[in-house]
Amino acid sequence: MGISEKLGLSKGQRYVFFGGKGGVGKTTCAAATAVWLSEEEGKEVLVVSTDPAHSLSDIFDQNIGSEPTPIEGVEGLKAIEIDPEKAAEEYVEVMKRVYEMSKDKGMEDLFGGEDLLKEQEELLKSSPGIDEAAAFQKFMELMKDDSYDVIVFDTAPTGHTLRFLSVPETLERQVKTMIKVRRTLRQVSKMLKTLIPFADSDEDEEDEILENLEKMKKEIEEIRETLSDASLTAFRLVMTPEEMAIYEARRALRTLNHYEIPVDMVIVNKVMPKRADECEFCRTRRKMEEKRLKLVEKYFGDKEIHQIPMFAEEVRGLGKIRQVAEILYGEPA
Ligand SMILES: Nc1ncnc2c1ncn2[C@@H]1O[C@H](COP(=O)(O)OP(=O)(O)OP(=O)(O)O)[C@@H](O)[C@H]1O
Ligand SMILES: [Mg+2]
Ligand SMILES: [Zn+2]
């Protein structure tokens, strides 16, 4: 069964995330998956990276910009490298506007409004890392753009990705508080109007602000639903056959379970191939890896587990990417 079938791709846009410890092969697997989906399954694919190290440009050996860039030689595949700093600036602007929206001309001093605004400010301050929030903002934008069948996310090392996935929870809390603020202010404004007939308050404007906040809340809820829907979203954990990488993946799995984000595949990359003429060093190394693979089986036994052998050279360029894709998704030999 193809990845697109498994994800029920006939139905609309789908999302595939790759996460794992630094250097285990997230970018490699994301690129291979994106190429496979476009070449073998005929999908319109966008592969996204928020890594400042321009790793997609490196692996595809071409310049990839902050706008979707067609990948030379692969029909139906585009890539985008989001500059985290630029995205963070955009995000701050958006949040400032949302914040202003929820404020009122002098009204916050009245009847507890100030306390609520303080609470709101605190929530803004306790936001997750600005980079993750910015990446999330981009994610929301991409979700609204339905020109792709699949969006593949090449993510930063696990910790960052998971914080990124917690953004909707935090945002939802913020927006809920803002809605509370608006409601209180509206009551105050109505009261003032009854007491002083000429008091300055514009109810239509008030309603519009509340409406916008409610809309935002709904959007965030939709994203949370999408991310936790196994027919729309797949998170794949990448690791090497080493304890540290396996433990990090295990921690990640727990966090993903907490956010109810479905993990459908575990990839063990850079596994030593078995050879007839192996030397003592390789034999010892492979024995150790076999133990680690048993550990992977123990912790992730209920997932689909794939192995990618260690290549003599790094994975760069379409030829190598296709080789990895064939190993991951091709018919078993
Ligand atoms: N199976 C493999 N055999 C040999 N080299 C590999 C293999 N998989 C990946 N590599 C190489 O390992 C390095 C790290 O891979 P990659 O960039 O995909 O990891 P990453 O998890 O995205 O790293 P980062 O956390 O820095 O983003 C790259 O140089 C890549 O070419
Ligand atoms: Mg990478
Ligand atoms: Zn050897």
**In the predicted structure, residue 270 carries a pLDDT above the cut 60:** yes
Q: Is 25 in the pocket of ligand 1 (CB under 6 A)?
A: yes
The answer to whether position 289 is within a domain reads yes
d(CA 132, CA 88): 9
What's the rounded mean pLDDT across residues 172-190? 75
pLDDT, residue 221, reads: 81
- Cβ-contact 193, 202 below 8 angstroms: no
Q: Write down the pLDDT at residue 312.
A: 93
Residue 246 lies in a domain: yes
What's the gap between Cα 210 and its chain centre?
28
Q: Which two tokens stand for residue 320?
A: 């190598």
Give me the half-sphere count of Cα atoms (radius 13 Å) on the Cβ side of residue 98.
Answer: 23
Amino acid identity for residue 68 in this structure: P
Both 77 and 98 in a single domain?
no
In this predicted structure, what is the pLDDT of residue 284?
94
Per-residue pLDDT, 104: 53
Looking at residue 35, its pLDDT comes to: 98
Give the domain extent around 122: 92-148+164-226
Residue 156 lies in a domain: no
Instruction: Report residue 86's pLDDT band, with 50, 70 and 90 as the boundaries.
Output: confident
325/8: higher pLDDT: 325
Of 42, 31, 57, 50, nearest to 91 (Cα)?
50
**Is residue 134 a part of any domain in this protein?**
yes
For the CA of 320, the nearest atom of ligand 1 = 31
Q: Is 233 in the pocket of ligand 1 (CB under 6 A)?
A: no
Q: What is the pLDDT of residue 304?
A: 95
Residue 113 has pLDDT above 90, yes or no: no
Instruction: Quick: pLDDT tens for 200-211.
Output: 556 666 677 777
Quick check: is 26 in a domain? yes
Q: Which atom of ligand 1 is nearest to the CA of 309?
A: 1
Q: Over 80: is that where the pLDDT of 34 sits?
A: yes
Q: 132 and 221: one domain? A: yes
Among 13-22, 88-97, 303-312, which is the least confidently predicted range?
Answer: 88-97
Residue 166 has pLDDT above 80, yes or no: no
Q: What is the mean pLDDT of the chain?
A: 81
| CA atoms 26, 32, 34, 37: torsion sign | negative
Q: In whole angstroms, how large is the CA radius of gyration of the chain?
A: 24
Does any domain span residue 158?
A: no
- Please check whether residues 31 and 102 belong to one and the same domain: no
The Å distance, Cα 52 to ligand 2 centre, comes to 10
From the CA of 326, how far away is ligand 3's center (Å)?
26
330: confidence class by pLDDT, cuts 50, 70, 90: very high
DSSP category for residue 66:
S
Q: Whose CA is nearest to atom 15 of ligand 1?
A: 25
